Each structure stands twice: as C-alpha cells, then as structure tokens.
Structure 1
Amino acid sequence: MINREIYNSILADFKRKKVIVLLGARQVGKTTLLEGLSSKEKKCLFLNCDNLDDKLLLEEKTSTELKLLLSSYEIIFIDEAQRVKNIGLTIKMIGDLKLAGQVIVTGSSSLDMANEINEPATGRIIEYQLFPFSLSELAAHTSEREEQRLLEQRMIYGLYPEVINEPTDAKRTLVTLANNYLYKDLFTYKGMKKPDILQKLVRALALQLGSEVSYNELSNLLGVDRETVENYINLLEKCFVVFRLDSFNRNLRNEIKKGKKVYFYDNGIRNAVISNFAPLELRNDVGALWENLMICERVKRNSYSKNFAIPYFWRTHNQKEIDLVEDQDGILTTFEFKWNTKSKTSIPKIFAETYPNSIFKVITPDNFWEFVK
C-alpha cells in the first residue's frame, strides 16, 4: 500500500466532528483511501452512490430518515456522492444532525458538488482534494533514487495508481481512462450539449501544452463561440482533467493581463489524448512535459501541505516570460523549468527591476525534489 499524504490529516480532522468531503478525478484512489480509513474495531457503513440502491437510500430523505439510517455507525462513507440528487442539502442535514459517527463523502467531479455543497453546507464540511500519486508519495514508498531512475517513465505515463501498480499495461489503462472514465460525469451533465466538441477541445489543449491559450483561436478551430470554449474548459476543470494558471500582472504596461495557460493534472492522460507514448528522445514536447509534471507536483504539494500560495505565469508582449510565479503573502517566488540540466537561464531583467525582492529558481531533473516535497 502506497501511503497518501493526506491520510493523517483526514484522520486528525475526525475530532472536529464535521463532514469530510474528498474530491478528485475518477480512479485516483479515493475508494482505496476510504478503505484505509475504515477500522475493524469500528462499525462502518459504506454507500457507493454509483449503485442505485445506495443512491436511493440518500435521495429526498428527511433528517429523521437520515438519522435512522446513519446514527448507529461510527464511520459512514458516502462514495461518488455527486450521483445523489440535491446532495448539498443532504450533506447539510447530515451535518446538522451532529452524529456521533464520522461522515466522509467523496465525489469524482465538483460539477454539482461544488455548487450544492459549499453554499448550503458552509461551516459544516472540511474539503480535501485527492490527486494521482505524487512523486513524494512514491519516493516515500520506494526511494528518491528509484523515482529519479523512473522519471522519464513518469513524464510519459503519468502517476495514476493503476499505471503505477501495473506499469506493463500502462498504455491500455490510460487510453481506457481517457476514453471511458474521464468524461463520464461530463457527458451526463446538463450543460454538456456537444460531447464531440469537448473531445476535440481536450486534444487541442493537449497539443498546446505549456503555451498560452487563446479562447478566440480555439473558438475558430472548433467552430463554436468563445463562450462555449470557456464553459467547456471550466467543466474540464471541475472534473479534474485540467487546471488553469492566470497571468501575473501588477505594474508593467506591457505585461499580459488576461492570459491563460492550461495544464493537465496528469501527463499520462495528456499523452493518451494525443495518442503519443513515444520515448523522450523521439519527442519534440519534452520541455512542455517537464513543465506540466513539475507544476502538477507543485499543485499537489501546496494542496496537501495547506500552502495557500497563488500560482501564476508571467509574460510580456515582447515575449519575456517566467513559467511559474507564486505569490505567498506578497512574497514572489519565480520558477523556470528546464529538462536540460545544462541550460542557462536567468530571471528577466525587467521582472527583477519591477519586483526587486522576488526569488528566482531554475528547476531541473537534478534539483526538483526540494520543489515538490
């Protein structure tokens, strides 16, 4: 069993007597984590809402009915809760019951979960996000040396649990994930009217990895309006397929002010989308893969350690750029990602002059552990 970094944090939150909500993409290990949190000494209830019978146990119930269902258990797991109609109201009622047992809810998309849970259940929940394995989790299980040896494999095949545990079947696993699981919640969502456009959009984003994304260009490419492009990218974010970085700007007139970069939560999924699992020496996107991997690992690190630094990228209209800018309490730390350890790079002079107290670091395969741990 590879230990997850948030396991102890979730256990520690049991004493707070709030509903714990665990969000994350399908197949990242939420159910396995729940099983690890269960205890032979405690009476547990496990409801999987992909199962119709379990789902109906929770739908349109009064607080009295919910109390009758749940109160005799010490731990209650509600898996794939986004399947339950009006799940936010249900969680609010469960939170108000002040049950003696701990309730843990998981969801593989925040499409309705985010809207329905956060508003009615404010103050009653503690929210976590689970990602594919992090390099730190894998290194803790094996060693940093072993993960260093497997770094190129991670860049190509990513870090989904099934890929890590069954590496010889990685291609088939990723293609199945990309085709069958990734969009399962999206295709049943009320805002999804053109699933074929969604798949073309994901491929276009995959091919633009590491580059600034233009909604207008994507609109022209796909033959849909700009608003549809933006809405679909927003839906992909809520299903934990991709995430966006905004452009950083404060003072300079020629800083790009409304730019966006889109990254994939997993390199393997990105490569499955474009059907390219070629080794690094045969690829022309190695720099983008390294950048995507490192920014994803930083997102995991900051999330798991409750580090609330705000991430951006920075670029000017005359093509000066920095891959990642983190703003933490007004302190700017900047990062450039270079797969080639011999590449020479320095902070753009105009950025250093405009933000004189900023810190600049170059992240390569030789020094990335401090960045991701």
Structure 2
Amino acid sequence: MNSLKQIILDQKVRLEKKFERERIIERETPDLRKYVSSPNVLAILGVRRSGKSTLSQLLVRGSNYGYVNFDDERLYSLKAEDLSKVEKAIYELFGDVDYFLFDEIHNIPGWELFVNRLREEGKKIIITGSNSKMLSGELSTHLTGRHIDYTLFPFSFSEYLKFKGIKIERVNDTFTSLSESVIKRELENYLKLGGFPEVHKVSEDIIHSIVSDIITKDIIFRLKIKRIRTFHDFAFSLLSYYSNEVSLNRFSKMLKLSINTVEEWFNAMIEAYLILPCERYSESPKARLVSPKKIYLVDPGIASLVLLDNSIGRIMENTVAIHLARKGEKLQYYKSEKGEIDFVTRNEFIQVTFAEGKDDINKREVEVLKDVKGKKKIVVTWDYEDKVEDIQFIPLWKYLLSE
C-alpha cells in the first residue's frame, strides 16, 4: 500500500508542478465543468498527448481531488480487484476528495464497475482515454445517461496563437493590417508544426515519439499485433494517403493480408484518433457503406514532420477537416461525374484550394459547386477573398479564426 500511495502522490505532484513550470492556456471547449457539477462521469477522449490531463486539472483546480495515471508502467500489473486499494490510497493521502481524475483507466480490464460504484456513491469523476471504444462497452451499459464524452484535439490555430501569446486586433471579421500579417506568418508555422502542445513546449522532434507511442501503445499493444513490422508498413503507408480516398482491398493485396485484418487495423487507427475517416455523401446508406473513404491526419504536423510532405494543398484540406471535426461535424465528401466537393457539412459545401489570387482558382472546383443546392457554398483559399454569385471565397487563416 505504501508504494501505491507513493506512486499516486508522485503523479499528483508532477501534474501540479506542470502548472508552475509550463505555459498553460485555457482550451477552447464548451463549459465542461457543468457536466461534473453533480455526481456524473465526464470522459475526455482524444489522441494521446493532446492535453487531456491538463484540461482535466484545469476543470478542478482549487478543489480537493485525487489523481491517478494508469498509463504508468508501475501500475500495469493492477487488476480490477485492486482498484479499491487505489481508492483507499487516495482517501488516506487527500481525505474525502471532491473529484476523482483517472487517466487512461481503460488499461485496467473491468474498470467500468469501479467507476460506476464511485458515481453511485455521489463522487464526481473525470476519466481520460486515448481510445474511442472505451465508452462502447460496459461503461455505456452501466452508465446509460450518466456520462458525457468530449473529444479533445491538439491545439487549434486559435489556441496555438493564444499559446504563443499573440493578441489579435479585430472587429468582427475585420483585422488590423499588423494582425493580419502576423497571423499569415504564424499560419505557415502552424501548418508545419501542428498543434501537439509538447511540440511547442519541447521540440518539433518529439512528434516522432508521439506518433510512435500512439502506434505502439494504443494499437499494437491493444490488439496484440504480432506482425509488428507489417503493421508499421501498413500504418505509415495509410498515413501517406491523407486527404485522399483509400482502398483497403489494395492494402490487403499489397501486404498479402486478409481484408478482415486490414479492416481491423484501419479501424484501430481511427479508434486511436490517429486518423479521421471521411465517408462519401449520399442519400443512400448502401452507397455510403460501399464507397471508399477518405482519411485525414489528426494533426497537420504529422504530414510535414513525420511524413516529410510539404504538399500545401493537401495540408490545407487536412487542416479544414480537423477544424470541422473539432466543431462536431461529421466528415463527408461529395463526388459526381462533374467533380468532387471536399466537405459537406450540415449547412455548407466546402472546397479547399491553394489559391493566392483569382487566377489560381481551379474552374472545375467552382463548376461542381454550381450544381449543388440547399447549403452555403464556400471555397477556402490560401489568400484570396471575394464573393462571386453565391460562392464565398475565404482565406484559410480567416476561416480557421471564424466564430
């Protein structure tokens, strides 16, 4: 028990010292505090190292709370029956806490019953996880209507500017000349480095470690994959197809794997939040099911720093995809004989193109927009702004900062 108490105390002290030595910003999230204002479970999900632990502590700072990170190798041997010892150690260290914060508790099989018991005893609980399936099993069964889940992404462009201490001077959608020039310069840096907090706090090289941890801990270990080299080949080949349609059958043939294995690996990369799937827009459920999906990376820094790809048009499209997913939009694209529309949202048709002026606009991308109706039409450009008939052209930097 003493060693367990020491681990828990060390973890909490380390988390709190983070606020003393690092620059911490308030994340641009909904008011998550209201979801734990009464005995409830708030699950903060998202890709590894996106800031979930920091956000959790921001929500409870000033309160008495117990914190345990189950992604600690010293706790790997814990089983469900040991979780009561964890609870006891927290009480002995911190007294009758107001909140429980549990990082990556899904590493412990059977954790759901433990969390549910704490909730029934009137405790307020925040859990974090790097896997979207953590709420699809027993937790959903035991906590129907008793949990809220929120997906956290790496820094948005707006959060990145805030972290850099850049103050933007604007009135509605009108920016000062100085602010506009600073924003454009910083956008280039953001598209290169992405939004993982540690990349900006430590070094851009750390993104390789982040991606490696996602692949190893959240996919290979979880699925108990034995053909590790083959999986690495699959994973990095798949990542290189970002902003494009992917054919899982092609991967199956190329790597000499069963289609079931390829689909399992593909879904595991989605569940680990490493990639974002985008399905084809159609009124027909069957057409959506059989049509190939497009994929996007969870962070633009993976494209430039890990894949060493500087295809600005693809990175722009990927960044818009993340922006939409962060707002809760389901990613869908439209395709017809006349062309493709990058994104179809609840209210908008969106094209993304690297255009610095009117002459750079691809006529084919505009023509396909003229054929669709019922939603607002937007073309996100690099630095061209105008409105032609019912199509709004807006620079990427302004689109990412729009309310």
For normalisation by structure 1, the TM-score amounts to 0.82
Is contact 1:67-1:97 (8 Å) kept?
A: no
Structure 1 residue 44 corresponds to structure 2 residue 65: yes
Structure 2 residue aligned with 1:335: 350
Alignment of 1:1-373 (within 5 A): 1-6=24-29, 9-40=31-62, 42-51=63-72, 59-60=80-81, 72-99=96-123, 102-140=124-162, 141-144=165-168, 145=179, 146-166=182-202, 169-170=203-204, 172-190=205-223, 192-250=225-283, 258-274=291-307, 276=308, 283=310, 285-300=311-326, 302-303=327-328, 309-316=329-336, 318=337, 320-326=339-345, 328=346, 332-342=347-357, 343-345=360-362, 352-353=370-371, 355-366=372-383, 367-368=395-396, 369-371=398-400, 373=402
CA distance in 1, matches of 2:298, 2:209: 17
Describe the shift of the 1:64–1:176 C-alpha distance in structure 2 as closer, same or farther (beyond 3 A).
closer
Relative to structure 1, the CA distance from residue 219 to residue 271 in structure 2 (aligned partners, 3 Å threshold; closer, same or farther) is farther
How many positions carry a matched residue from both structures? 346
> Larger deviation: 119-128 or 229-238?
119-128
Shift of 1:114: 3.5
Q: Is the contact between residue 82 and residue 113 of structure 1 (CA under 8 Å) also seen in structure 2? A: no
Does the residue aligned with 2:132 lie in a helix, a strand or coil? Answer: coil
Distance in 2 (alpha carbons) for counterparts of 1:125 and 1:58? 23
Partner residue in 1 for 2:8: none
Q: Distance in 2 between matches of 1:179 and 1:263?
A: 18
- Cα separation, 2, equivalents of 1:365 and 1:246: 25
- Measure the CA separation in 2 of the matches of 1:143 and 1:182: 36
Partner residue in 2 for 1:306: none
Deviation at 1:73, TM superposition (A): 0.6
Normalising by structure 2, what TM-score?
0.76
- Matched residue type, 1:120: H
Using a 3 Å threshold, how does the CA distance of structure 1 residues 59 and 29 change in structure 2: closer, same or farther? Answer: same
Distance in structure 1 (CA, Å) of the matches to 2:288 and 2:214: 39
Return the offset for 1:111: 4.2
Name the amino acid aligned to 1:50.
D
Structure 1 or 2, whichever has the larger Rg, is 2
The amino acid across from 1:364 in the alignment is T
Q: Return the letter of the residue paired with 1:89.
A: L
Conservation of the 8 A alpha-carbon contact between 2:355 and 2:361: no
Q: Is the 2:277–2:296 contact (alpha carbons within 8 Å) kept by the matching residues of 1?
A: yes
| SS of corresponding position for 2:331 | strand
1 CA distance for matches of 2:356 and 2:105? 45
After superposition, the C-alpha distances for 1:85-124 in whole angstroms (9 at most, x for unaligned) are 212222222222222xx21111122344543422332212
With over 3 angstroms needed to count, the CA separation of the structure-2 counterparts of 1:67 and 1:312, relative to structure 1, is same
Unaligned runs of 5+ in 1: 278-282, 304-308
Distance in 2 separating the partners of 1:11 and 1:58: 30
Q: Following the alignment from structure 2 to structure 1, what is the Cα–Cα distance between the partners of residues 86 and 191?
A: 49
Contact 2:158–2:400 (CA<8 Å) still a contact in 1? no
Deviation at 1:199, TM superposition (A): 1.6
Per-residue CA deviations over 1:302-360 (Å, capped at 9, x if unaligned) read 13xxxxx43301113x461000011x2xxx4110111223232466656654x432321
Deviations 1:184-218 (CA, angstroms, capped at 9, x unpaired): 12221145343322221222122222211111112
Q: How big is the shift at 1:34? A: 2.5
Q: Check conservation: 1:24, 1:30, Cα contact below 8 A.
A: yes
RMSD: 3.1
Q: What is the CA–CA distance in structure 2 between the aligned matches of 1:67 and 1:179, rounded to whole Å? A: 35
Q: Which runs of 5+ in 2 are unaligned?
A: 1-23, 169-178, 384-394
